[in-house]
Chain A
Amino acid sequence: MKHRWLTVAALQGRDLARRRMVLLVLVGLPLAWYASSAAAGLDYAVGSGTLGVGWCVGATALFTVLGGRSVDPRLVQAGYRPWELLAGRLLMLLGTALVLAAFFAAVMVAGSRPDRPGAVALSIVLIAVVSIGVGLLVAALLPRELEGTLLLIAFVGLQIGIPTAVAQWMPYYGPLRMTDTSLPPANLALLTAHAIACTVVLVLAAGALWYRRVRLTPAAPRRAEMPGRP
């Protein structure tokens, strides 16, 4: 059968769609972050909402991987190639991230009427995409729900207060810099490239760690090489 990764993507999507409370939080949490900051008249309301989108997409990626933790090795044993599982999962997460980003871009542009609405929309799309990599890497490093969630909370929280010299090396630097109205407008192309490069690095690192968990042990050596065989 061709395109087995599409089967994986479709079924992972159904799995997520049935998690009604998760979907509610996915929309509700960034909305609450943005609305509370905007209602208080804070300058960084858009940045706050953007970070909320990032946290939610990262958490979705984290729980999608952890939800398949016991099934993934079995699926590989049953015949899937590890990249098919990863590609299917990425496709589902990317679709979810883009839908969420489109919704919040519309809400925040309409609600805050920023000077550069294109930059705001781009920042939300980029943070959603880069957060897939963040969530996948956290899941690969700490494959347990509580520890992974705490690490993700700590990581996202850190983005707010870290000095620029350090922030430049962080995956959320590009999207958050785009929403920072206290600084002069930055080069969007460079910031976009930064976010995409971070996404690629994060996904590759997460994929490599995850692959070590799900790969099958190598086939046995040829008969002549087997111990106890003439």
Chain B
Amino acid sequence: MTVDDTALHATGIVKRYRRHTVLDGVDLEVRRGEAVALTGENGSGKSTLLRICARVLRPDAGAVRVSGRVGFCPQEPALFDLLTADEHLALFGAAAGLSRDEALRKGHRRLDSLGFHARPGTVVRDLSGGTRQKLNLAVALLAEPDVLLLDEPYQGFDHGTYVDFWDLVAQWRGADRAVVVVTHMLTELWRTDRVVNLKEDT
């Protein structure tokens, strides 16, 4: 692995919640064009590690280096209940420096690829769980990120969309992006290049 290939490099990550140590010196390195599955039992610190890599959670020790822009899809949809899909696209698009028109164009393309169907003007609160999750994933993809950190992003997806999601992972990897997917779906691990099992590998 050359230094330039590394898109995400987390070293010596330690995270404690009070006296409970969730992560104890975890390392994670992901190259461009690599898809990594992050597995582990409940409470093993998968989501915590992903949040630290996304820099929304501060580790007690260790360092994270990311090359390029990061797209982060949290496990629970982090969206405004009373805004519509288009309003979310405009809001997150502005964060990435996109105009409203650009954000809507790109966002609709992402949503179409995920099979998002909702009446225009429907607010998030009125979307089904799976549809909400599709929007949650789409806004993470808006900025064409170099590193994708996805925390069980397929929850609530119907089977067809679930299969499409893994095809999209293959596409993103083919586009030289680094993809980390937290998953419990062991039957899909063959679709990734590498499996990092927290507790076992760390």
Contact = CB atoms under 8 A, between A and B. Distances in A.
Given A74-B78, A75-B95, A77-B56, 10 more contacts: A1-B98, A4-B94, A67-B81, A75-B91, A77-B55, A78-B142, A79-B95, A79-B96, A79-B97, A226-B63
Query: Which of B59, B66, B76, B95 has the most A CB atoms < 10 Å from its CB?
Result: B95
12 contacts: A1-B97, A18-B123, A70-B78, A77-B55, A77-B72, A78-B142, A79-B95, A79-B96, A217-B59, A219-B65, A220-B65, A227-B62
A70 B70 CA distance: 18
Interface string A195-230: 000000000000000000000110111010011100
Contacts of A226: 9, 11, 63, 65
Interface in A67-81: 67-68, 70-71, 73-80
Interface in A53-74: 67-68, 70-71, 73-74
A75 B9 CA distance: 23
Contacts of A219: 55, 65
Given A14-B87, A18-B82, A1 B55 contact: no
Interface in B77-115: 78-83, 87, 90-92, 94-99
B63 A67 contact: no
B54 interface: yes
B12 A78 contact: no
Interface of A: 1, 4, 7-8, 11, 14-15, 18-19, 67-68, 70-71, 73-80, 216-217, 219-221, 223, 226-228
Contacts of A76: 56
A14 B59 CA distance: 36
Contacts of A71: 78-80
Contact of A74 (B11, B74, B83): B74
Contact of B90 (A7, A75, A228): A7
B57 interface: yes
Interface string B119-139: 000010000000000000001
Contacts, number: 91
A15 B70 CA distance: 27
Nearest to A16: B82
Contacts of B87: 11, 14
Contacts of A78: 72, 92, 95-96, 139, 142-143
A79 B145 CA distance: 12
B12 to A, nearest CB: 5
Sorted nearest first, the 4 A-B pairs with minimum C-beta distance are A79-B95, A78-B95, A220-B65, A220-B63
Nearest to A228: B11
A32 B119 CA distance: 39
B63 to A, nearest CB: 4
B72 A74 contact: yes
A78 B149 CA distance: 12
A227 B11 contact: yes
B68 to A, nearest CB: 13
B52 interface: yes
A70 B72 CA distance: 13
B58 interface: yes
Query: Which of B3, B57, B59, B63 has the most A CB atoms < 10 Å from its CB?
Result: B63
Nearest to B52: A217
A19 B82 contact: yes
A14 B82 CA distance: 8
B189 interface: no
A134 B139 CA distance: 33
Nearest to A12: B80
Contacts of B9: 220, 226
A217 B65 contact: no
B196 interface: no
